[in-house]
Amino acid sequence: MQRHSTTSPLLSLPGAVAAEGQDEGVAAHYGDLFREQRALADGKGLVDLSHHGVVTVTGDDRLSWLHLLLTQHVSELPAGRATEALILSANGHIEHALYLVDDGETVWTHVEPGTREALIAYLESMKFFYRVDVADRTDDFAVVHVPAGSIAEAPEGAVVRETPYGRDIFLPRADLESYARENGPPAGILAYEALRIEGHRPRLGFETDHRTIPHELGLIGSAVHLEKGCYRGQETVARVHNLGKPPRRLVFLHLDGSEVVLPGHGTPVRLAADGEEGRQLGFVTTSARHHELGPIALALVKRNVPVDAPLMAGNTAASQEVVVEA
C-alpha cells in the first residue's frame, strides 16, 4: 500500500514516539497515553492525521458525478456539510472509505494511509465525459483532528469538516507544525484510536476485510443512503436490507484487565464456554487501553453469536456490547 513519503514534523516534538504499521509517519503517543486521551475527551489538543491521503474533486459536475459512484447521497450536498461515503465492489464489499466536505467549489476528502493511489485510479477511470478534475493534494495539505468542544480556530486557507465527534481540518502542510504548537498539546494516534473504539466507529483496513459489507459495521445511514440512485454494489446493499441480515456483526468488547498484552488485530474470538479449542466465531479488529474503561476492543463476529454470551479474544476473557443488532 502506498504511503506518504515524509514523516510528520510533529515527531520532533518532546516525548513523541513513532507509530508503526498503518499509522507509520505520525506519533503513537507523546509520553502519556491516558493524559492525551483525557485531554481529547475534554475537548483539548489535537491529533496529527497528516499520514492520511488528501484527494480533491473540482469541476461543475463534481457532486452529481460523485453521487453516481458513492454510497452516500451527495448530489445536493450543501457547502460546509460533512459526510462520509463508501465505494463498494460489484459484490457490495467495502473497497474505499471517504471522509468528505464540499467548500462550494471543491470536494475535499481524506482517506486511509495507503489507499489514495487506488482510489484516484478508480475515480480517473470513471470520469468519462463529466466535467471533473481529480487531484492528489497530499503533498500540499495535511489533516489534523480537533475534538468536539475545542475552541481552536482553523487557520486561513484551511477547509473544515465538522462532525459530531470533532473537526477534521485540511490545512496547508507547511503550517502543520506551527498550528500544532499554537493549539496543542498534541495527542498521539493511540489516544485517538481508543476514543474511536469507544465510539464504535469502524475504520477501513481494521474493521474491514475483503468481504465486509456495510451492514456488518452499522454504516447504513451514516455512510450508505438507501434512497439514492444506482451505484456499484447497490444490489447487495438493497438485498441484505430488504430480505435478510448480514452474516457478521460488529461488537464492542470489554476485555479482562488482568492481561498484560492486548489481543491484536486478527486474534480469534470464541465462546468462553468452548475454551481455546472451540470454533472461531470472529476476530478482534482493533484493541486499545482506555483511560476510563480499561482494555477495550472492536470485533467482527458471526451474527448468530448470542449477544449475552461471554467470549474469549485469544486468551483474554471478554464481554460484549451490541453495536449491530443480531
pLDDT in tens, 276-316: 889 999 999 999 999 999 999 999 999 999 999 999 999 99
Q: How confident is the model at residue 3 (pLDDT cuts 50, 70, 90)?
A: very low
Q: How confident is the model at residue 4 (pLDDT cuts 50, 70, 90)?
A: very low
Mean pLDDT of 100-112: 98
Of 293, 212, 200, nearest to 252 by C-alpha is 200
Q: In what order do the strands lie in the sheet with 166-172?
A: 159-163, 166-172, 141-147, 46-48, 186-187
pLDDT of 208 > 70? The answer is: yes
> Which pLDDT belongs to residue 5?
53
60-87: b or e for each residue (b if 16 or more CB lie within 10 Å)? Answer: ebbbebbbbbbbbbbeebeeeebbbbbb
> Which pLDDT belongs to residue 196?
98
> Which pLDDT belongs to residue 258?
86
Topology (CATH level 3) of domain 247-325: Elongation Factor Tu (Ef-tu); domain 3 (2.40.30)
162 CB-side CA count, 13 A: 10
Domains of the chain by residue range: 9-52+140-199, 53-136, 247-325
d(CA 100, CA 223): 11
Q: How confident is the model at residue 184 (pLDDT cuts 50, 70, 90)?
A: confident
- Cβ contact 158:170 at 8 Å: yes
Residue 136 CB partners (closer than 8 Å, separation 6+): 53, 54, 55, 116, 120
* Residue bearing the bigger pLDDT, 317 or 277: 317
Q: Per-residue pLDDT tens for 22-52?
A: 999 999 999 999 999 999 999 999 999 999 9
% of the chain residues with pLDDT over 70: 98
d(CA 33, CA 292): 12
Mean pLDDT of 259-266: 92
> Which pLDDT belongs to residue 137?
97
pLDDT of 123 > 80? The answer is: yes
Q: Per-residue pLDDT tens for 50-91?
A: 999 999 999 999 999 999 999 999 999 999 999 999 999 999
Output the CATH code of domain 53-136.
3.30.70.1400
User: Lowest-pLDDT range, 126-140, 206-220, 269-283?
Assistant: 269-283
pTM of the model: 0.95
d(CA 136, CA 138): 6
Of 206, 197, 315, 225, nearest to 265 by C-alpha is 206
Mean pLDDT of 100-124: 97
d(CA 95, CA 163): 23
The residue with cell 504548537 is 181
pLDDT of 130 > 80? The answer is: yes
Average pLDDT, the chain: 95
Q: Which long-range contacts (CB under 8 A, 24 or more apart) does 159-166 make?
A: 159/101, 159/103, 159/106, 159/108, 160/80, 160/101, 161/82, 161/99, 161/100, 161/101, 161/108, 161/110, 162/80, 162/82, 162/101, 163/82, 165/195, 165/199, 165/201
